[in-house]
Amino acid sequence: METTPFVSIICTVFNKEPWLKKTIDSFLAQQTEFAYEIILVDDASSDGSRSIIQDYQANYPDLIRAFYQDENQGISKTWVSICKEARGQYIARCDGDDFWLDPLKLQKQVDLLESKPDCKWSNTDFDIYDEQGTLVSKAGFANHTIPLADTYEKMLATRGFTMASTWLVDRDLMVEVNQELDLTTSDDTFNLQLELFQRTTLAYLDEATAAYTINQGSDSRPTDFKKLERRFHKLLQTQLEYLDKYPNADFKEMTRILLDRNNTYEIRLSKSMDSLSHIGMESVTIYFGDEENAYSEDRTMTKLLQKEDILTIRIPKGTSVIRVDLSERPGYYSDVKLQDATGNICSPVYTNGVIVDGYFFFSEPDPQLIYDVKEEGEYRLSYKMISVDDIAAPDYIGKVFAAEFLDSQNRIKKLEADLEATKVAYNAIITSKRWTIPTKILKFLRIRK
């Protein structure tokens, strides 16, 4: 006799092959007093994701339901349609590159919501992992790596974060808010969170039950500046729309949040316009993670900040990750490199800045980069600061036009490459037998006339 599931775990997948097995295994590891189902949907992946889903569905036919889309629909359309398939009273969401850490996650969140009748939505704290599945930092909310937005006002004013892969939401409520989702949005979770906050209170479990995988270059963390700019403009458009959509929100609270932010920016702008002004005044600090990849003040290395410098870093025993704090103020760098003893360049597994074409932009305080390292190894950290915000500099306008010129050149090169490819394809067609033989026949008929 088939048991009706109490919770439906939904995982939407598009090209998540490197992480997907760990994600699904974390669902299968859940220990609950109730029945649950696992719904996997492949959004026309071009890698091996579909094959992985097929294997798991074949091995767990009573637990896993799989859906396959022949054409890519995108996360928003996929999420809205698949939620209608859920049979549980609650929906648990997890993205295909994240995974759950606690086998009691679902049970704890169900118990939490059952104890709070006014809450129909729960989330938890999370740990941060790199693309290889290595722990980078613990307790993202508790350690303020990413602030928790726990109200509608915080969410709308700050474009906040609740960690979607920890959600447990009343099924009927989720289907209801899905109907309000703009399917062209650049971030479906932003819209969904705004709608959920309008209808219920968020119940927060202060335990890290899930892993948030940082993927540089993903939709939420594009490395191309144009894509990043489009994402920000789309998010702003959403914010403006919601100002009108829910006019009864606490605008006084949102204004307070924005005024506080604005005051912080005013203080920064009131300082010297030159982004190099804190050279020699602050330090570069290297934090060595302990066995649990936690950082403390007693396991650090510091050196006075210079315009450019090279630091030799000797990794102590018991360290597999390091956090590099380049200063306490926002800064801009033309080059930041961490190299191992053989000269190989290490890529950061996490940064709170933006990396575009080899440039590092940190617009927020405490610019940070986190790297995986080898225990007791030796590394060299090099950096070079640049001044990009001195609008009074005599070459400022020149820099702006130079950047635009380079961007235009890149676009021209792409057009030239496309044109050359078109020429090659055209020549291949007109010199083929299928083309030349009919052409010769037509010419012959014209001559005969």
225 and 81 within one domain: yes
241 and 173 within one domain: yes
At 223 the pLDDT is 54
Q: Which residues contact 401 (CB under 8 A, 6 or more apart)?
A: none
At 264 the pLDDT is 75
At 397 the pLDDT is 45
At 438 the pLDDT is 56
| Greater model confidence, 104 or 144 | 104
| Greater model confidence, 382 or 424 | 382
Q: Is residue 261 part of a domain?
A: no
Q: Is the pLDDT of residue 279 over 70?
A: no
Mean pLDDT within 267-290: 66
Domain count across the chain: 2
How is residue 26 annotated by DSSP? H
Cα separation, 391 vs 274, in Å, equals 9
Q: Is the pLDDT of residue 79 over 50?
A: yes
220 and 335 within one domain: no
The token duo for 8 is 């439906």
Last residue of one domain, picked from the residues 194, 223, 245: 245
Segment holding 122, helix H or strand E: strand 121-129
Instruction: Kindly list the distances between the CA atom of residue 296 and the CA atoms of 211, 286, 361, in Å, as whole numbers in the listed order.
Output: 22, 10, 26
**pTM, rounded to two decimals:** 0.65
Q: Is residue 401 part of a domain?
A: no
| Greater model confidence, 366 or 87 | 87
Q: Are strands 64-68 and 36-42 parallel, antiparallel or unpaired?
A: parallel
> Which of these ranges, 218-222, 232-236, 353-357, 385-389, has the smallest mean pLDDT?
218-222
At 398 the pLDDT is 47
Q: Is residue 395 part of a domain?
A: no
287 and 235 within one domain: no
291 and 240 within one domain: no
Mean pLDDT within 174-202: 92
What is the dihedral sign for C-alpha 72, 75, 77, 83?
Answer: positive
302 and 239 within one domain: no
Residue showing tokens 């963390």:
221
User: Exposed (0-12), middle (13-18) or buried (19+): which is 173, by Cβ within 10 Å?
Assistant: middle
Q: Is residue 188 part of a domain?
A: yes
In this structure, are residues 57 and 64 in contact, taking their beta carbons and an 8 Å threshold? Answer: yes
Average pLDDT score over the chain: 84
36 and 167 within one domain: yes
Q: Is residue 51 part of a domain?
A: yes
At 271 the pLDDT is 52
SS3 label, residue 316: coil
SS3 label, residue 226: helix
Q: Which residues form the domain of 17?
A: 7-245
Q: Is the pLDDT of residue 388 over 90?
A: no
Cα separation, 105 vs 361, in Å, equals 37
The CATH number of whichever domain residue 76 belongs to comes to 3.90.550.10
318 and 190 within one domain: no
287 and 241 within one domain: no
Give the chain's radius of gyration (CA, Å): 26
Residues in the chain: 449
At 355 the pLDDT is 84
At 361 the pLDDT is 83
Tens-digit pLDDT profile for residues 84-138: 999 999 999 999 999 999 999 999 999 999 999 999 999 999 999 888 787 878 8
pLDDT above 90 as % of the chain: 55
> Which of these ranges, 116-125, 148-157, 302-311, has the smallest mean pLDDT?
302-311
136 and 12 within one domain: yes
The CATH number of whichever domain residue 331 belongs to comes to 2.60.40
At 68 the pLDDT is 97
Mean pLDDT within 19-39: 97
At 13 the pLDDT is 96
Cα separation, 424 vs 445, in Å, equals 29
Q: Is residue 207 part of a domain?
A: yes
Cα separation, 342 vs 18, in Å, equals 27
Q: Is residue 416 part of a domain?
A: no
| Greater model confidence, 329 or 380 | 380
239 and 328 within one domain: no
308 and 356 within one domain: yes
Segment holding 187, helix H or strand E: none
To 5 degrees, how large is the angle CA 138–CA 231–CA 93? Answer: 45
Mean pLDDT within 39-52: 96
Tens-digit pLDDT profile for residues 207-261: 999 999 986 555 555 555 677 778 888 889 999 999 999 999 999 999 999 998 8
Q: Is residue 123 part of a domain?
A: yes
At 286 the pLDDT is 93
At 446 the pLDDT is 53
How is residue 392 annotated by DSSP? T
At 186 the pLDDT is 66
Segment holding 288, helix H or strand E: strand 283-288
Cα separation, 132 vs 379, in Å, equals 20
